[in-house]
Chains A and B, each alone.
Chain A
Amino acid sequence: MAVSARTRKSARLQRLEAAINYPIDWLEERSGLVGGLRYFLFRKVPGDSNWFHTLGSATLTAFLVQATTGVILAMYYKPEPKTAYASIQHITNDVTLGWLVRGMHKWGASVFIILLFFHMARVFLFGAYKYPRELNWIVGVLLLVMGMAEGFTGYLLPWDQTSYWATVVGINLNGTVPFLGPYIAQFLRGGAEIGPDTLARFYSIHMLLIPGAIFALIGLHLYLVVRLGVSSPPWSKEAAGADWVEEQVTTNGRSGLTQPAARSSWRRNGGDAE
């Protein structure tokens, strides 16, 4: 009895499985996204990777927190000189958990920048910026610049005395750049004087232009991480450098899935490891 019950249940399970698999298969057949996700999640990483390797993910998480809390803040913020400060007070004092969301965005900005620098220090000290990952270092530097620009443009938005005068100084600092400075300052102000247009401009740059660029650059950053593989720490017993390519040939490598690309680029560079 028990056996037949089990087989009945198993048949139901099979139907359930088919019902779950059908949309997944449908998606996979038309997009290959499921296989792509599986490739991303189950790719090989060095066996001796450690907690320092999580700093990049931590930075990404901090950015996603900024993006999420920023969207919520944008629902209540009014980028007008007469209303900006009042709307911030409204968020902090009246909106449900507004103080928390604003606090997360404000302090999260510093967390994001700090984690970014820790991640950068890890990559530098591990020598992970070296061939073939130089391009990813450059993309990372662009992300750092974008993060700084987010900090600069976001600082004006509370529209209190500190943020106003800090931005006056920041814009005039840009104005002292040789030759182009006066024009850069003019662009940032949106005119000859700081006014309503400046606030709207900073808001637009802060929440549309730069976040879009950061999302795109993070996509490129992650693509390169997956393509080139995660690097071992410098104390790794597994060989690096030229042997790293050889290891990939034996499919025993830490990032075997990227083997063809790494091999061909090595050949193009006239590598003598083979």
Chain B
Amino acid sequence: MGEWKIVHFFLDPNQGDVTRRTAYIRYNGPLNGAPSFTIISNRCAHLGCPVQPNGPSFPDQTKSIDTGGGQHVTLIKMLPAGGFGCPCHGGQYDQEGNRTAGPPVRSLDRYEYSIRNGHLILGKTFSVAKVKGSGKDAIIYRYRLAGPGQHITGWEQIFYPLQPPQ
């Protein structure tokens, strides 16, 4: 519990490397009888660079799983003690993905998830204005997915009234 993993996977295994995505996943313990996870997208909320954990990762504790259909999932243990940071323009986030410094306009995006037959299944991504609290008790201010750098709250949100169909 409370342990973080760097998780690499493919959005579309047929298209290969170009659809490789990374999520940072933490197991939060059970909530209402089901396991609870924090699943943060590594896409920076500033301009979309890949945020990195501010802390050590342990490549020697890597687990690779072939889930069929060409999908290949890699899990690497990590310890993001200082949250997450972006190498491009210096955006900083805490462990819940809340912006703590730098140019990002909101918190890190998160993944929907479900649990089927004991497997964690990632769903769509959604945008997050902020997160209050932490872990399984966190209150997530959830919005539909917006591009990096686009405001979803505050007066600036009037600049982005429409999103193209995905």
Q: Which residues of A come within 8 Å of B, CB atoms?
A: 81-82, 165, 168-169, 171-173, 175-176, 178-179, 181-183, 185-186, 192-196
With A and B bound together, what is the CA distance between A154 and B123 in angstroms?
Answer: 34
| Given A195-B19, A196-B18, A168:B163 Cβ within 8 A | no
| Given A193-B11, A194-B18, A183:B164 Cβ within 8 A | yes
Pair B147/A172 contact, Cβ less than 8 Å: yes
Pair A169/B47 contact, Cβ less than 8 Å: yes
Q: Residue on A with the closest CB to B159?
A: A178
| Given A168-B48, A169-B47, A182-B162, A176:B19 Cβ within 8 A | no
Contact code string B123-150 (vs A, CB < 8 Å = 1, else 0): 0000000000000000000000011111
Residues of chain B within 8 A (CB-CB) of A183 are 162, 164
- Interface status of B160 (Cβ within 8 A of chain A): yes
- Interface status of B59 (Cβ within 8 A of chain A): no
Other 7 A-B pairs with CB < 8 A, given A175-B147, A182-B162, A194-B18: A81-B15, A168-B49, A172-B48, A176-B149, A176-B150, A179-B161, A185-B147
Pair B166/A172 contact, Cβ less than 8 Å: no
With A and B bound together, what is the CA distance between A165 and B88 in angstroms?
Answer: 9
- Size bracket of the B interface: 20 to 34
Pair A172/B16 contact, Cβ less than 8 Å: no
- Interface status of B17 (Cβ within 8 A of chain A): yes
Pair B88/A181 contact, Cβ less than 8 Å: no
Pair A173/B11 contact, Cβ less than 8 Å: no
Residues of chain A within 8 A (CB-CB) of B164 are 182-183, 186
Residues of chain A within 8 A (CB-CB) of B12 are 195
| Given A81-B17, A178-B159, A195-B15, A173:B147 Cβ within 8 A | no
Residues of chain B within 8 A (CB-CB) of A82 are 16-17
Residues of chain A within 8 A (CB-CB) of B162 are 179, 182-183
Q: Is the interface of B mostly helix, strand, loop or mixed?
A: loop
Residue among B17, B19, B150 making CB contact with A193, cutoff 8 Å: B19
With A and B bound together, what is the CA distance between A195 and B13 in angstroms?
Answer: 12
Pair A182/B18 contact, Cβ less than 8 Å: no
Report B19 CB to chain A, min CB distance, Å: 6
Pair A176/B147 contact, Cβ less than 8 Å: yes
Residues of chain B within 8 A (CB-CB) of A168 are 47-49
Report B135 CB to chain A, min CB distance, Å: 30
With A and B bound together, what is the CA distance between A176 and B149 in angstroms?
Answer: 6
**Chain B 150-166 interface residues, beta-carbon cutoff 8 Å to A:** 150, 159-164, 166
Report B149 CB to chain A, min CB distance, Å: 4
With A and B bound together, what is the CA distance between A172 and B148 in angstroms?
Answer: 6
Sort A-B residue pairs by CB-CB distance and give the 8 closest, nearest first: A178-B159, A176-B149, A175-B147, A172-B48, A81-B18, A186-B164, A172-B47, A169-B47
| Given A182-B162, A182-B163, A175:B16 Cβ within 8 A | no
Residues of chain A within 8 A (CB-CB) of B146 are 182
Report A115 CB to chain B, min CB distance, Å: 30
Pair B160/A179 contact, Cβ less than 8 Å: yes
Q: Residue on B with the closest CB to A185?
A: B147
Residues of chain A within 8 A (CB-CB) of B147 are 172, 175-176, 181-182, 185
With A and B bound together, what is the CA distance between A163 and B19 in angstroms?
Answer: 16
With A and B bound together, what is the CA distance between A173 and B88 in angstroms?
Answer: 13
| Given A165-B49, A168-B47, A169-B48, A175:B149 Cβ within 8 A | yes
Report B83 CB to chain A, min CB distance, Å: 21
